[in-house]
Structure 1
Amino acid sequence: MADKKSFAEQTSADTKEIGFHYQYYYFLYRLLNLKSGQSVGLEVKDDVHTDLNNDAQILFQLKHTVQKNSTGDPIALTELDGDLWKTLHNWAKVISDEVDGRSQKPEQINFIKRTEFHLITNKSESSRNKFLEKLEAHKATTESFKDLHSHVKFLHSKTQDATIKNHIGVVLALEDDVLSLFLRKIHLEMNLADLHSLIKIAIKEKMVPSSKVDVVFERLDSNIRTDNYINIKQGKKLELDFDSFYSRYRNIFATSREPLQLGRPFVPAYPVDIFAQTFIKQLIAVNAMKINDIEKAFEYTTNKLKIARFLDDWLQSGDLVADEVEGFHKDVKFKWRNAFEHWCEDCLDQEVIEKAKQLLYDLRKIDFSIANSNLNTELSNGELYHLSDEKLIGWHRDWKTL
């Protein structure tokens, strides 16, 4: 019979695994909230840390529990909670770390002044946690440090847990003015269980369509995990600044855009004299259509009106921005110019019509693109007719003077 792990062993392993993921996903959440000049680290200065651009820093301790209360919710954070005092103990050790040059009070106070200490947990709040109640009162200057300090000493004498007693003792070992300042810089965020939802909200806030949020999340998660694994193998710190995060992962966000909808309904409003349009006159001038071909005139005009309307609709709806539309027109004009120089610029008089029709034929075969979306032939041809109607491009060698 195969050896089986005890329930305690299984729970311990599961707890460590969930705790690791909780820590990692909070790191990912902080990455998504980076601003220029800031950086985020995983297990560098703390479980997670953020360096701000004014020499300030935020240290995050992450504590996750799988224990449930009678209603099925995570247990409450009590005033003698092991996670609470282990966290404060760890920070007290960091504050007074001799190796980092903080054995004396001035260095400790300077460190605390530029640091915030955040405990993040999925544990729920407890109305019976007098320590946290007094802590918040002390931060709001409605309770003296003396009263808070007395309560901490009371907890130290009350607990029968040797580990917790030791942790509280390390906190109490800080000099009074150091401890008072430290306690005022502590922040707790409880009931934080659903990090995935927070991450997805942060992704959506980066202008990612709702339908693409899950895809972006999965790709970002996968790529960052892979990069973290590689960095750990190479002995590198897991720390990213805003510029590195942007340059490394921006394409995940850029490629999440919804493709432009090309099949939307369209009812054109035709001009009174359809043959008076500049682009129609240009087509007739190079024998690309007959002077009385009303069917083609309406077809080509529909193409021209449709692309103009769609571009305006996409701009108004936010599917495109102005510089994308401008860049689209510019790119089509560049493609026209390259082809025009090849076919028409130096053609002989007897070749003008033949070369113009070849130029038009070549360009009509191109499906242009805008904002990662490929346009169909109808809209692509419509763009050519639109630019021609605006007297920005032409087919005849002498189109500007026709």
Structure 2
Amino acid sequence: MASDKTFMEQTAAPGASAGFDYQYYYFLYRLLNLKKGQSIGLEIKDDVHTELDNDVQMLFQLKHTIQKQADGSPIALTELDGDLWKTLHNWAKVISDPNDKRSTEPEQINFIRKTEFHLVTNKSTSKTNTFTTLITSYIEDTTPENASKINSKLDALEKSTTDATIKGYINTVKALSDYAKREFFKKIIFNIGESDIIQKIKDTIECKFIEKSKIDEVYDRINSNVRDDSFISITAGSATTILFDDFNKKYQKIFKDARSKRLSTLHFEPALPSDLLAQRFVNQLIAVDDICEQDDEIITEYSTYKVRLARSLEQWLQAGEIVADEIDALHRDVHLRWRNSHRAAFRKCSEEQIKEKGLSIVDNMRMDKYLLGDDELNTEYSNGELYVLSDNNTIGWHRDWDKI
């Protein structure tokens, strides 16, 4: 026996969050497909809308479900589905909106002819949904006979349902004039089974001449920036409309960066050695009093730099972003800089100055940034390179570092 849901469970509405994400990701997908002269809006004329450069607009209603069928696929879009009829009802209301100067049939026809109506849903196709089949058939062959079949189906569905809300939605569509309905039915497009929108976004990114190894990085950056900008606009009470030229100007650097030879940004938390104090590079830093054994937090931070740089070098090499001789050149250059600094520091150094001189070497080298091929490593990676070499017993900070 199923237990009743608590009030908090009823109001948590996990499907609502998924529905908003679905709407946003479709907005992002359409945004990435904008062409010169076009614009896109979020939650203005519809869930999402696009205005083309030929005075044509595309309205998108996004309907998402978290309900599953026995095989794990989303439930089907049925003939009397609330999402289907609420969408058609909304569009019929928009078409006949007197507050937008569309109270007469000619005004409604003019609006319909320059508008496409897209219902996008992750719900699966229903083999028994003859209504959507009739709409599709009418678009392919706009004969009076096919239009009549749709009107007959509307009458039959309205009579068959006992749901007063659905009945009202159907009657709103039926209330349009016969001429308006015929034109409206021509412009309805069903995008059913649209589940993996994120993959479609990534495919679009790849089509913009982005290497496969950079697609996820571009996706992460464009998603983060657009989402933040859209949220800021909505919370500020301003409409989120983006022109192609504005989008290109604001976000082109993300694509430009990815097309350059810059190394991809890797996001991971590396697994650290179980005994951090046993690391050679840690003991080298302790030897010049840069850290002490009790500095757990800083030792963990430095260890993360070391492991992250080592792992990144491996992944960049495997991905073909760098070649082995570039890694060798990095190690040689940093080693030479260290050797010059070390020799200069300890050339005339008393016993009392050993730790002070060692600290000056490590402090100065931490301030430097090192080149890997044509790329300048950031400070974290550059510091990580120092700790990698020190851990490999290639460099050290004490005068007698090789004996530690």
Q: Please classify the TM superposition score into its range, dividing by the shorter chain length.
A: 0.5 to 0.7
Match of 1:78 in 2: 78
Alpha-carbon distance in structure 1 between the residues aligned to 2:83 and 2:235: 30
Match of 1:14 in 2: 14
Structure 2: give runs of 5+ residues left out of the alignment. Answer: 264-320, 322-370, 377-404
Question: What's the CA shift string for 1:42-81, capped at 9, x where partnerless?
Answer: 0010000000001100000000011111111001111111
Alpha-carbon distance in structure 1 between the residues aligned to 2:238 and 2:374: 35
1:156 corresponds to 2:150: no
Match of 1:212 among 211, 214, 224: 214
Question: What's the CA shift string for 1:80-127, capped at 9, x where partnerless?
Answer: 111000000000000000110001100000000000000000011111
SS of residue in 1 equivalent to 2:108: helix
How far apart are 1:182 and its partner, in Å? 0.2
Question: Compared with structure 1, are the counterparts of its residues 7 and 217 closer, same or farther at alpha carbon in structure 2 (3 Å cutoff)?
Answer: farther
Give the root-mean-square deviation of aligned CA atoms: 2.5
Match of 1:63 in 2: 63
Alpha-carbon distance in structure 2 between the residues aligned to 1:36 and 1:29: 16
Alpha-carbon distance in structure 1 between the residues aligned to 2:36 and 2:72: 41
Q: How does 1:21-100 map to 2 (within 5 A)?
A: 21-100=21-100
Match of 1:191 among 190, 193, 200: 193
Alpha-carbon distance in structure 2 between the residues aligned to 1:175 and 1:213: 49
How far apart are 1:233 and its partner, in Å? 3.2
Question: Compared with structure 1, are the counterparts of its residues 21 and 96 closer, same or farther at alpha carbon in structure 2 (3 Å cutoff)?
Answer: same
- Contact 1:137 1:143 (C-alpha < 8 Å) held by counterparts: no
- Contact 2:134 2:146 (C-alpha < 8 Å) held by counterparts: no
1:118 corresponds to 2:137: no
SS of residue in 2 equivalent to 1:118: strand
SS of residue in 1 equivalent to 2:98: coil
1:203 corresponds to 2:195: no
- Contact 1:209 1:258 (C-alpha < 8 Å) held by counterparts: no
Match of 1:277 in 2: none
Match of 1:385 in 2: none
**What is the TM-score of this pair, normalised by structure 2?**
0.62
Alpha-carbon distance in structure 2 between the residues aligned to 1:255 and 1:15: 36
Alpha-carbon distance in structure 2 between the residues aligned to 1:39 and 1:149: 35
Question: Compared with structure 1, are the counterparts of its residues 35 and 61 closer, same or farther at alpha carbon in structure 2 (3 Å cutoff)?
Answer: same
How far apart are 1:373 and its partner, in Å? 5.2
Match of 2:251 in 1: 249
How far apart are 1:10 and its partner, in Å? 4.8
Amino acid at match of 1:135: I
Number of paired residues?
A: 266
SS of residue in 1 equivalent to 2:169: helix
SS of residue in 2 equivalent to 1:189: strand
Amino acid at match of 1:43: E
Alpha-carbon distance in structure 1 between the residues aligned to 2:196 and 2:112: 30
Match of 2:309 in 1: none
SS of residue in 2 equivalent to 1:203: helix
Question: Compared with structure 1, are the counterparts of its residues 187 and 236 closer, same or farther at alpha carbon in structure 2 (3 Å cutoff)?
Answer: same
Amino acid at match of 2:213: S
Question: What's the CA shift string for 1:184-232, capped at 9, x where partnerless?
Answer: 1100011111111000011111111111111111111111111112222
How far apart are 1:6 and its partner, in Å? 2.6
Alpha-carbon distance in structure 2 between the residues aligned to 1:74 and 1:260: 41
Alpha-carbon distance in structure 2 between the residues aligned to 1:187 and 1:239: 23
Q: How does 1:309-324 map to 2 (within 5 A)?
A: none
How far apart are 1:259 and its partner, in Å? 2.3
Amino acid at match of 2:146: S
| Rg larger for | 1
Alpha-carbon distance in structure 1 between the residues aligned to 2:85 and 2:262: 54
Question: What's the CA shift string for 1:344-392, capped at 9, x where partnerless?
Answer: xxxxxxxxxxxxxxxxxxxxxxxxx9x9757xxxxxxxxxxxxxxxxxx
Structure 1: give runs of 5+ residues left out of the alignment. Answer: 262-318, 320-368, 375-402
